[in-house]
């Protein structure tokens, strides 16, 4: 039997301010540091999903700069059985909007200096997001260890 397939998309959102570059991180409902993402809806492209989810979860309207990477894993779903999950992440520049966490989905959202964002991710983020944030920072010209 074919495993069900589920595609989600999201992004590493950044903005340029007078103080310099800032990276957006969310605190998810499990109180972990994460990135805005969500499931693709029928008729959407993966890019549209990423931008819609970012706007729904954080209030920011963004534009995709380039793909970052795809995380793939499987999980067991109560009715679907084994699900092959793909999460596509993009580097997204915030253009406008008011930072506003979607209370049903996430506990908070904030902007951080790049190295501070990296420290927060390492301390309290999901391991598989390490490479996403690291690659996104590299694309923005910031090297982290």
Which domain, by its residues, includes 95?
A: 4-139
Query: So what's the pLDDT on residue 1?
Result: 64
Q: What sections of the chain are H helices per DSSP?
A: 46-58, 114-124, 127-139
More confident residue, 104 or 72: 72
Is 145 inside a domain boundary? no
DSSP 126: -
Is 85 inside a domain boundary? yes
Is 106 inside a domain boundary? yes
DSSP 52: H
Question: Which helix (H) or strand (E) segment is 60 a member of?
Answer: strand 60-77
Q: Is beta strand 81-97 parallel, antiparallel or unpaired with respect to 4-17?
A: parallel
Q: Enumerate residues 6+ apart whose C-beta is below 8 A from 50.
A: 9, 10, 11, 37, 64, 88, 89, 90, 92
User: The tokens of 137 are what?
Assistant: 């920072």
The model scores a pTM over 0.85 = yes
3-27 confidence digits (pLDDT tens): 789 999 999 999 999 989 999 999 9
Tell me how far apart the alpha carbons of residues 118 and 41 are, in angstroms, rounded to a whole number: 30
Q: Is beta strand 81-97 parallel, antiparallel or unpaired with respect to 60-77?
A: antiparallel
Tell me how many domains the chain contains.
Answer: 1
Query: So what's the pLDDT on residue 50?
Result: 98
CATH number for position 50: 3.90.79.10
Is 44 inside a domain boundary? yes
Is 144 inside a domain boundary? no
Chain centre distance of CA 88: 9
21-62 confidence digits (pLDDT tens): 999 999 998 999 999 999 999 999 999 999 999 999 999 999
Query: So what's the pLDDT on residue 99?
Result: 72
């Amino acid at each position: 039997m074919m495993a069900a397939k589920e595609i989600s998309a999201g992004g590493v959102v950044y903005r340029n301010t007078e103080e310099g570059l800032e990276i957006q991180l969310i605190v998810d409902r499990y109180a972990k540091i994460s990135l805005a993402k969500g499931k693709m809806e029928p008729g959407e492209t993966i890019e549209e999903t990423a931008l819609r989810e970012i706007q729904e979860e954080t209030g920011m309207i963004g534009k995709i700069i380039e793909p970052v990477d795809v995380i793939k894993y499987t999980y067991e779903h109560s009715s679907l059985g084994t699900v092959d999950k793909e999460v596509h992440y993009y580097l997204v520049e915030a253009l406008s909007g008011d930072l506003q966490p979607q209370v049903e989905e996430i506990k908070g959202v904030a902007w951080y200096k790049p190295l501070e964002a990296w420290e927060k991710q390492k301390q309290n983020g999901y391991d598989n997001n390490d490479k996403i944030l690291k690659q996104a920072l590299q694309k923005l010209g910031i090297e982290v260890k």
